[in-house]
Amino acid sequence: MSVPAGTVYLVGAGPGAPDLLTLRAARLLERADIVFYDALVHPEIVALAARAEKIAVGKRCGRHSAAQRFINKRLIDAAALHTTIVRLKGGDPMLFGRAQEEIDALQAAGVTVEVVPGITAALAACADLQTSFTQRGISRHVALVTPRIGEGQDPSDWIRTVCHADSAAIYMAAGQSSALSASLLEAGLPAHTPVVLVESASLPETRRIYTQLAALPQAAAQLGDGPALILLGAAFARTVAAAASMDLAVLRTAGAQAR
Q: What does each C-alpha distance from 92 to 29, 82, 211, 252, 257 come to in angstroms?
A: 16, 24, 27, 36, 37
Quick one: which of 46, 148, 21 has its CA closest to 97? Answer: 148
Which is catalytic among the residues 59, 73, 104, 225? 59
Pairing relation of β-strands 228-233 and 53-56? unpaired
How far apart CA 31 and CA 28 sit, in angstroms, is 5
**C-alpha distance across the termini of the chain, in Å:** 69
How far apart CA 99 and CA 69 sit, in angstroms, is 12
154 a catalytic residue: no
Angle, vertex CA 50, rays to CA 68 and CA 41, nearest 5: 40
59 a catalytic residue: yes
Name the phi and psi angles at 196, rounded to 5.
-125, 125
Pairing relation of β-strands 142-145 and 7-12? unpaired
Q: Which residues contact 190 (CB under 8 A, 6 or more apart)?
A: 213
Torsion sign over Cα 163, 209, 13, 70: positive
The number of CA neighbours under 13 Å toward the Cβ of 152 is: 0
Catalytic positions are 38, 59
